[in-house]
Amino acid sequence: MSNTDFVLAVEDLTVSFDGFKAIDALTLYVNRGELRVIIGPNGAGKTTLLDLICGKTRASSGSIKFKNKEMTKMQEHKIVRAGIGRKFQTPSIYENLSVFKNLEVSFPRGRSVFGALSFSCTDEVKARIQSIVEEIGLKDQLHTESGLLSHGQKQWLEIGMLLMQDPELLMLDEPIAGMSVRERELTAELLQRIAKNRSLIVIEHDMEFVKRIADKVTVMHQGKILAEGSMDKVQNDPKVIDVYLGH
């Protein structure tokens, strides 16, 4: 099959943990430039799906193609290099370093020859950092120690660190958990800006937020897709109301 229009094509994907299928013959296509939101009850397999796509967990069977290239046997760091960035639920920034330094060490070259924390910062890197702090709304905090940022700002910094790698597909697991109302609004705007130039998969529970950002919503349940389509469509789907929205 040739899926040239899809940035991501997941087909018949299954992973078993001791016989329990956390992902069960799941098929999912994401278009280039799409902002896809995945919702579903706890334990549905949402995080596991991202683990499989980024290579943290290995599939039992099935296929994951990114830009038509098979990813299921690829090493995690090669998947990153291929253009897939993934943000975990807990932020992993260097609290004792400035915003600038955190972004600098996230530039792909920084990790190769001299190790993560020591390499000379070129004009190219500086320009990238400047455009990213503007995008994530932290340009006035460029030299602030990251540990002093608000919870929301730390999340944005981590998104910025992923953007330093210039991924074509960015995956975020519950990015607004613990954020204030204002931070949620700003995050919605940020994700919409990011999605102008790349594809995004976002796992989220907050329905107001989902409604605001999603091009298309995928509802997962028991490792399978329960429903997929516009927010309007899935919100009114009796199956979805029954297992998820009704609670």
Would the CA dihedral through 235, 237, 239, 241 be positive or negative?
positive
According to CB under 5 A, which residues from 47 to 86 bind Mg ion? 47
Cα separation of 216 and 31, whole Å?
Answer: 10
Which helix (H) or strand (E) segment holds residue 37: the answer is strand 35-39
- Interface region with ligand ADP, contact rule CB under 6 A, candidates 45-53, 78-86, 140-148, 153-161: 45-53
Q: Which is nearer to Mg ion, 183 or 204 (CB)?
A: 204
Question: CB 172: neighbour CB atoms within 10 A?
Answer: 25
Please, what's the b/e burial string for 76-96 (b: 16 or more CB within 10 A of its CB; e: otherwise)?
A: eeebbebbbbbbbeebebbee
Cα separation of 229 and 36, whole Å?
Answer: 10
Q: Is 186 in the site for ligand ADP (CB under 6 A)?
A: no
Q: Minimal distance in Å, beta carbon 56 to Mg ion? A: 13
Q: Is 48 in the site for ligand ADP (CB under 6 A)?
A: yes
Strand partners, 21: 16
Q: Residue 43: name its binding partner from ligand ADP, Mg ion, none (Cβ under 5 to 8 Å by kind).
A: ligand ADP
- Interface region with Mg ion, contact rule CB under 5 A, candidates 40-48, 62-70, 131-139, 185-193: 40-48
Q: Is 43 in the site for ligand ADP (CB under 6 A)?
A: yes
Q: Minimal distance in Å, beta carbon 42 to ligand ADP? A: 4
Q: Which is nearer to Mg ion, 46 or 154 (CB)?
A: 46
The DSSP bridge pattern shows strands 199-203 and 169-173 to be: parallel
Q: Minimal distance in Å, beta carbon 94 to Mg ion? A: 25
Q: Is 114 in the site for ligand ADP (CB under 6 A)?
A: no
Of the candidates 152, 162, 111, 103, the one whose C-alpha atom is nearest the C-alpha of residue 127 is: 103
Q: Minimal distance in Å, beta carbon 206 to Mg ion? A: 14
Question: CB 185: neighbour CB atoms within 10 A?
Answer: 14
Q: Minimal distance in Å, beta carbon 131 to ligand ADP? A: 32
According to CB under 6 A, which residues from 193 to 232 bind ligand ADP? none
Q: What's CA 92's distance to the chain center, in Å?
A: 14
Helix (H/G/I), strand (E/B), else coil: 97: coil
Q: Residue 178: name its binding partner from Mg ion, ligand ADP, none (Cβ under 5 to 8 Å by kind).
A: none
Q: Is 22 in the site for ligand ADP (CB under 6 A)?
A: yes
- Contacts with Mg ion by CB under 5 A lie at 46-47
Binding site for ligand ADP (CB under 6 A): 17, 22, 40, 42-48
